Structure formats: structure tokens, C-alpha cells
Chain A
Amino acid sequence: MITAIYLAAAFCIVLGLAFSRSRALSDLLGVLFLAAQTILTVHGLANLHVTELQYFTFDSLGLVLLLALTVISYPSMLHSRIYLRKPMADLHSSAVYNASYVLLISAMTLGYLANHVAVTWIFTEITTLSAAMLIYHHRSKLALEATWKYVFVCAVSICFVFVGILFISLALLHDGCSELFYTDLVAHKESLNLFWMRLGFVFLFAGYTAKLGLFPMFTAGVDAKDKAPAPAGALLASALMNLGFCGICRVYAAVSGTPLGGWARAVMMVTALLTLFVATIYMARIGNVKRMLAYSGIEHMAVVTLGLCFGRAGLMAALLHIVMHTFVKSGLFFHFTQIWRTYGSKMIDDMGDYFKLNPFGALVLLFGFISIAAIPPSGLFFSELLVFKAMLAEGSYLIFGLTAFMLTVLLWAFARSMFRIIFLPASRPVEPVKNSPWESVSQLLLFALAAYIGFNPPAFLMELLREAASMIA
């Protein structure tokens, strides 16, 4: 019932925002949407395992991701509002921005909760549409280029996922099942036709890598996060990647523990290592702050995918990692608006002396860097440690060695750029710009929240994670 109300409310709010030409009305609709989002999340937590509207189930995996999205939707709405007012954007492009923003958040929400292979796919399609509109916000030549690349790669990837769904449906048809609910997949997992399931998994996995940001199709996502406004980039670099993970994880649950499980793990592991390799190479020669953050997201998703490969302990660590990464990465993107205001550039070569120019912001940025680099007291440190523990528990020393080596090189490159921004003198004189410390508070809270979850994870969250991890064998 609540899901139906949420669906209707989101639809009306998107329409209202698209046609609203008054900033006050847009603010009001934004607040209404946040209320609807929160009510749905709380309702979901109170009604674990309840299915609504036939296609949406409040299961633990969906709820964990939804919780992370809802938490960042508050600061992201706030920063979108700041973004659209400093400097003042015109009413038409603000309306398009706001409407696609709400559409993106609600499509991701419903995508997480979908319990049907095709429904997840449909909402993934909708995220492509809304993300494209956000990337094109500035209507410049480069924004158009990024949008075109993103739309085209996502269209191909969506085709791939659909082909995967078709092959999986063939596997199910052989077992006499003509429905495509995830529960059907798991119920028939022992007797699924291996040939079709194998093809299905490969296509589906390759398709979802465009959203998750793994090796073959990650490129378009990087351009998108670079050209999208920073508050939108925050969603693209965190919650939208989680949607790709959700799609892969749910199908992997139907493969793990079957004769295909080991093969699927090998596919994911090789992809994750290749991704890590590519991210490390690019990170070493990066010149653009936003692209640097995007590649760091790709690195974290590679770690998460590795976690998925190592059993329940690994998946639990991966999910914890995803939740904290969502907070920290979006926080860093929110902070980018201030960096842009200070230097008027995205290039690291133009930056420096950030500590003098924006002392409080620089402290927050430093805290954010420590958090994203998984250096204690960052929460990500604990989840990464747990992923490594799961790896070593299964005796995968080679994978551990490779991962640790690449992460070290990547961290070196990341730190070099970050410290240059914060501590080294600027290459050219920079006029001090006034940045209100209040704008950094939301980021500080997000980083602190991630650190707190790392040290003392709330019992209900751990319970959810444990249950979500039990979906794989």
C-alpha cells in the first residue's frame, strides 16, 4: 500500500517539478519527496519481507541499499538547492534538473526493491533516462559529448542485460517455470539448464557493469560523473553504482552453490582485478578532480565485487563497504562545489593552498580523503579488512597480493593529488573566495557517520547485512 502511494507521489512530484516555475514550489515539492522517501524506508524496515504491488519486496539487500540512498538524499537535495542558486540557474533548467533528480532517486529506490528480473531492468532503464538529463544540465559541447557517450553505452548495456534475461528465461522454461521472480530463480537453482544460465549470467553481468562501473563498460560512467553537476555526480558515483551491484548480486544468488558458482566467481574476480588495474593506471596520471573521484569509485566497486566472490563473509563485508562508500563518496562530491568555487577549475594543476584558502573546508576534505582511502579511523578500513579476511580465509593469497599491491599504488597516486590540493602552494595566485563553513557540515556528518558505522555498527544494520549475505551459498 505504502509502495503504491510512494509510486504515485513520486510520479506527481516529478510532474510538478517539471512544470513548476516557482522556486518556492520546487522547494516544497522537494521536501514532500524527502518525506515520502523517508516514510517508504521506515515502512520497509518495519515490514521486512513484505511484498507490495506484487513486484516490490522489502528484502534485506534492497533495504540496506535503500537506507544508504535515503540518508544521502537529504544532503544531496540540500546541495542541489545550493548548486542551482549560486549562481542562480534559469527556471527552465532548474525545473528539468529537479524533476530528473527526483526521478533518478525514485527509480533507484524501486530498482533496489524489485523482486522480478525484468522489473529491476525497467527501473535501470529509467535511471539512464534521468541521469542523461542531469548530465546534459549545462548544455555545453562537452556535456553533450558525455551525455551521448553515456546514453549510447547504457543503451548497449541495457540490450545486453535484456539478452541475459532472455537466456535466463530459457533456463527457467526448461524447468517448467514461466515467471521471472528472483525467488523462482533461487527455487529452481539446482535444476537450471547450465548452458542457458551461463550465457544469461555473462550477458547480464556485462550489461550491469555499465552501472556498477566495472571493466568493459566503465568509461561512459566516468565521463558522466565528470560532466554532471556535482550533487548529481554524487548520486551517479554512489547510489546508481549500487543499483548495478543489486542487479548482479540477485542473479549471482541463483548461481552460487550450483555447478556454475565457481565459474561465475572466476568471471567476476577477473573482471574486478582488471578494473582495479585500469583504475590504478588512470589514477596515476589523472589531472581532473572529479574524474579522480570517479576512478576511486570504480576502485571501490572492484573491491566490493571481490567481496561478493568470497562467500557470505565476503558479501557481508562488501555490503558494509557499499553503505559506507555511498556516504563518503557522495560527501566528497558535495565538497567539490566549494573547490570549484575556490579555483574556478577542475584541474589539479590549477589548485593548491586549499588549507589557507578554505581552512574548515580543507579539514573536511582531508577527513574525506582519509575516509575514502580506507585509512583508520575510516569506516571503510574495517570493511576492506573484512573483505581481505574473507579472501585469506579461502586461501586466495594471489588475489590478495594483487589487490593489496594495486590498492597501494592507487592510494599513493590518490594521496599525491589530494595533498597537492590541500598543502602545496598554488601554481598561480588564487583570489580568496568566501565559502560558508555551513556548507561543509553535511559532508562532515556523512564522513563521521561512515566512521561510526565502522567502529560500532548498529545492531539492526548488522542483522540486515547478515540476512542479506545469507542469500548466497
Chain B
Amino acid sequence: MLETLLIIFLITLFYMSIANRMRNYIKILIYQGVLLFLVAAFHLKEFNVFNLIWILLETIVFKAVAVPYCLERIIRHNNITRETEPYLPHFVSLLITTLVVVLSVLLSGSIEDIILDKFFFVAAVSAIFTGLYLIVSRRKILTHVVGYCVIENGVFILSLAVGNEMPALVNLGVMLDIFASVLILGIFANKVGDVFHDVDIDKLSGLKD
């Protein structure tokens, strides 16, 4: 079951690399939130009930509802165009994402580990690097935020992998989630949108040497 969920998560990463519309990004983030909710629910067996409920609540409420809702609102509020405006064609993006996944599978091949499930490792590392790729290859600031959310999802999967042994780290991961999302989305994405209107990275080039 866990393997299936993590493989579906990997597929969402591929879809993300070729998504054409901003709305699709948000839909994928919602799917990922639900997937992570299920992974956490099936995987975290050693947790006490209250802690588990808190973490599950965070994944479903925060990752699958609040963050996508915020992004949606920012798109509507700032009349951001629907296209994702990548620098590179989708085919290349797909190729690079595939390369990322293949490399993380190869890397995981060298691990003989009793604690860490390889599926977790592959899903997490792929998500982190796909997120980074999204950030460097897209023009809109909002896409950068989406890329950051993908990185965060990858980090969350990794923290789940060691979660049964070190529950404190899962809680820290959740804290990072809330802290960074509130800082980035709540304060700045709104402000940046208001001041710079069409939120394009080319507008943010006032500071240079």
C-alpha cells in the first residue's frame, strides 16, 4: 500500500514537470497533500494518538487545503496569466525529471538499509530535486512557490521515513512547513503581488552589481 502511494506521488512529479496551466499545479499540490496524508496515516505506527492526529490534521488541512487555497486566491487576486511560462520546452522538462528520478533510484541502489525504506528515499530525493528544477526553470514567482512546496513535500516524506524512530523530527518538519509557508505565502507572495502586479521574475531585477 505504501509503495503504491509513493509511486503515485512520483507520477505526480512527472505531471508537474509538464503541466501547462497554473491551476494544474495547484491541483497536483492538492493530490500530493492527500497522498502524504495517506502515507502518514499508514506509516506512523509508533505515534501516540494525539500526536498522530495533529500530524494528519496538518497534512490534510495545511498541505491539501490551506496552501492550495492561498495560491488560488493569489492567482485570482493578481490576475496572473494561466500559462506556466517555462524557459525550456516540456519535453526537456520531462527528460530532466526522469533523469532526477532515475538518478535517485540508482543512488538508492547503493544503500543497504534496514531502517530506511528505499521507496521513501527515492520519492523524497526526487521531489526535492524536481522542486529545485521547477524553481530554476520557470519564470513566474508563484511557480517558484509551487516548487518550494514540492521540496517541502519531499522533506516531509523523508521525515516520515525516520518518523517511527524519531517522532520529534516529524513534528519539526511540520513546524517548518507551517513556518515557511506562512512566511512565504501569507506575507510575501501577497505583498509581492500587490507591488509588482504581474508577478514575473524579470521584474525582480533591480538589485544587481
Contacts and interface: CB of A to CB of B under 8 A. Distances in A.
B200 to A, nearest CB: 12
A282 B209 contact: yes
Contacts of B195: 141, 144
B162 interface: yes
B53 interface: no
Interface in B144-163: 144, 148, 151-152, 155, 158-159, 161-162
B128 A152 contact: no
A288 B166 contact: no
Contacts of B180: 155, 158-159
| Interface size, A (range) | 35 or more
A279 to B, nearest CB: 11
A125 B181 CA distance: 13
Nearest to B171: A118
Contacts of A180: 166
A178 B166 contact: yes
Contacts of B111: 195
A227 B208 CA distance: 12
Contacts of A84: none
Contact of A151 (B169, B184, B206): B184
Interface in A154-185: 155-156, 158-159, 162-163, 165-166, 169-170, 173-174, 178, 180
Given A148-B188, A156-B148, A287-B209, A162 B166 contact: no
Given A151-B183, A158-B180, A118 B172 contact: yes
A226 B168 CA distance: 37
Contacts of B173: 162
Contacts of A132: 183
A195 B204 CA distance: 39
A162 B176 contact: yes
Contact of B151 (A156, A165, A287): A156
B208 to A, nearest CB: 9
A286 B180 CA distance: 33
B202 to A, nearest CB: 12
A111 to B, nearest CB: 15
A259 to B, nearest CB: 16
A286 B209 contact: yes
12 contacts: A125-B179, A141-B195, A141-B206, A149-B204, A151-B183, A156-B132, A156-B148, A159-B155, A162-B159, A285-B209, A288-B209, A291-B209
Interface of B: 110-111, 113, 115-116, 128, 132, 135, 141, 144, 148, 151-152, 155, 158-159, 161-162, 165-166, 168-169, 172-173, 175-176, 179-180, 183-184, 188, 191-192, 195-196, 204, 206-207, 209
- 3 smallest CB-CB distances across A and B, nearest first, come from A155-B180, A223-B207, A142-B206
